[in-house]
Amino acid sequence: MRIGVLGAGQLGRMLALAGYPLAKTFVFYDMSGSPSVGLGEVIVDREGKYLDDFLSRVDRVTYEFEHLPVEVAEKLAQEKPVHPCPRALQVCQNREAEKTLFGELGIPTPRWKIADSAGSLRAVAENLGCPVVAKSNTEGYDGKGQAVLRSPEDAEAAWEAIGHPRLMVEKFVEFSREVSIVAVRGEDGQLAFYPISENVHHEGILRYSIAPAPKLEKHTQQDAERYIKELMNELGYVGVLTLELFETANGLVANEMAPRVHNSGHWTIEGAMTSQFENHIRAVSGHPLGSVEPRGLSCMINIIGEHGEVERLLELPYAHVHLYNKGERPGRKLGHVNVLADSYEELVWRVRNCVQFLPGSPEFISSLNRKSKG
Task: List binding-site positions for ATP.
Answer: 95, 135, 140-146, 170-173, 178, 201, 255-256
Helix (H) or strand (E) holding 51: helix 51-56
User: How does strand 41-44 pair with strand 60-63?
Assistant: unpaired
Residues of the binding site: 95, 135, 140-146, 170-173, 178, 201, 255-256
Helix (H) or strand (E) holding 54: helix 51-56
Strand stretches in 220-326, DSSP E:
239-248, 251-258, 297-304, 319-323
- Torsion, Cα 276 281 285 288, to 10 degrees, reads -40
Nearest C-alpha neighbor of 120 from the set 173, 166, 176, 57: 166
DSSP letter, residue 294: B
CB atoms within 10 A of CB 80: 15
Largest CA distance in the chain: 60
Burial pattern 300-339, b for ≥16 Cβ within 10 A else e, equals: bbbbbbebbebeebeeeebbbbbebebeeeeeebbbbbbb
